[in-house]
Structure 1
Amino acid sequence: MVKVDILATLLLRAQRERRPLTRWEASTAASMIQSSDNASANALWQRIGGGKGLTEANRTLGLTSTQAGPGPQWGLTQTTAADQLVLLSAVFDDHSPLNRASRDLIQSLMGEIDADQDWGVSAAGSRWQLKNGWLPRPHSQRWAINSVGRVKAHGSTFYLVILSHGSPSMSQGISAVEQAAQSAVHVLCSTPPPVSPIIR
């Protein structure tokens, strides 16, 4: 899931240098997001300056509780649901350190995920842009399964962040994440809007 943050960091660096992504950067970013290719993530992690580069970009993006993975281990980056909502806002909202071209690129890639990775928050809506993350924990034989993205359902747009750990298998973790996403959208759609107070 940190791959979206890696790409946002790369794009911020390119913006500061007043240049578009190189052809290699763009193709590597596409592979990293759409196919969740780890070799591509390794290469771009080095390009952004590793954890130091990610941390610097996160300060600009407004993420305050995300800790970059040590050394080359970007997959051990720790984050919070609140920080991931901030990142989604940076990716999708107009008021963002990322310019329009950068946001358009990330949104496009998140909307064209490989078919075998179309799970997670996409279960909650018919139109979506997402990035999933999964990691088996060798010491416990349990899985961390995460999904973040924007979905459209029932005429509304939702930013969803589902972080989980302790699943006995990847498939069970995916099922739990999808149920959580569907439940969240159902609750949000079922909740009536607050009544505005009458000021006399």
Structure 2
Amino acid sequence: MLAAAVVLGGTAAGTWYVKGQAHGGDGTVSSSAASAVEEASVEPVAAPEVDRDELLAIALKGVAVEEGAEMSVAVLDPASGRSAAYGTAPFDTASIVKADILAALLLQAEDAGRTLTAQEREYAAAMIEESDNASASALWRTIGQAAGLDAANERFGLTGTEGGQGMLWGLTQTTAADQLVLLRQIFGDAAESELGEASRAYLQGLMGRVVEDQDWGVSAAGTAGAGFALKNGWLPRSTTGLWVVNSIGRVTVDGDDCLVAVLSRGSTTKAKGIALVEAAARAAVPVVTGDGAGE
């Protein structure tokens, strides 16, 4: 009779292999049994990938959320390519759509072979830096309202965003994942963006100069004193009195950039909505930068 001993072992890289020894009744190794074990040997298998969506969901469990409030989060470390997302439902954009409106305007201008007019640049600066609504409405008309935004977003790769009807640009519907796609168009690899380098630099610059009382949101996840570029949105819904509070942008963490989008609704006050968005951003960034992510 033959007796076979099979031993599992691990490599430093985290892969596993099988070793086997087959013995005859006298304790010697049978050549036929050894051959059978050799044929049954298992090739090294890579360790399973980290499920960062699951890690993000776990991290967000520590974020205090008012009863009835909801949030959705997407985060990306461009250097490593690590990303995570939580929630797929659409949310009202409120004023974060202003970054999308300007991106659409810049794309249309590039297509026409022109630069922005002095008036358009004035509107753009006020719309992004100060979140001026009248300027946003003017540029919303210029891009062709929802039809123009949707056409640009199709080229940008946004699949879950739909422009608000009529002049209701603040009721554009979007997802956190789509906002991350938009951020990649603005801040990510230039070779993968529909926007030219000058357009990207212009939009980045405006988002890096928001007025002081609007520099909250995803900026809370960055290293203190490091730069950030963002666009926030806030809107009390007239039907419920509850707040939509959103924040999207780029933050710097220990010298590395990270893209973050946090959408929320259902907070009873703007201040509570801001606290929720900031806490969610702080919880999300370490999931892709490695801290607290099992690495």
Shorter-chain TM-score range: over 0.9
Residues 29-49 of structure 1, C-alpha deviations (whole Å, 9 max, x = no match): 000000000000000000001
| Match in the other structure for 2:243 | 143
Aligned length in residues: 193
Deviates more, 1:158-167 or 1:179-188: 179-188
Unaligned runs of 5+ in 1: 194-200
User: Does 1 or 2 have the higher relative contact order (CA < 8 Å, sep 6+)?
Assistant: 2
Supply the AA of the counterpart residue of 2:210. I
Q: Which has the larger radius of gyration?
A: 2
Q: Secondary structure at the match of 2:123?
A: helix
CA distance in 2, matches of 1:157, 1:10: 26
* Contact residue 127 and residue 153 of structure 1 kept, 8 A: no
| Match in the other structure for 1:65 | 160
**Aligned-CA RMSD value:** 1.0
Q: Secondary structure at the match of 1:2?
A: helix
CA distance in 1, matches of 2:257, 2:102: 23
Q: Secondary structure at the match of 2:174?
A: coil
Supply the AA of the counterpart residue of 1:143. W
Residues 6-36 of structure 1, C-alpha deviations (whole Å, 9 max, x = no match): 0001001100111111111111100000000
Unaligned runs of 5+ in 2: 1-95
| Match in the other structure for 1:120 | 217
| Match in the other structure for 1:160 | 260
TM-fit CA distance, 1:186: 3.1
> Which has a greater percent of strand?
2
What's the TM-score once normalised by structure 1's chain length? 0.94
Q: Secondary structure at the match of 1:160?
A: strand
| Match in the other structure for 2:203 | 106
Q: Structure 2 residue aligned with 1:129, among 207, 229, 242?
A: 229
CA distance in 2, matches of 1:174, 1:57: 29
Q: Percent identity over the alignment?
A: 53
| Match in the other structure for 1:198 | none
| Match in the other structure for 1:84 | 179
Supply the AA of the counterpart residue of 2:193. S
What's the TM-score once normalised by structure 2's chain length? 0.64
Q: Structure 1 residue aligned with 2:117, among 22, 37, 53?
A: 22
CA distance in 1, matches of 2:248, 2:284: 13
> Which has a greater percent of helix?
1
| Match in the other structure for 1:75 | 170
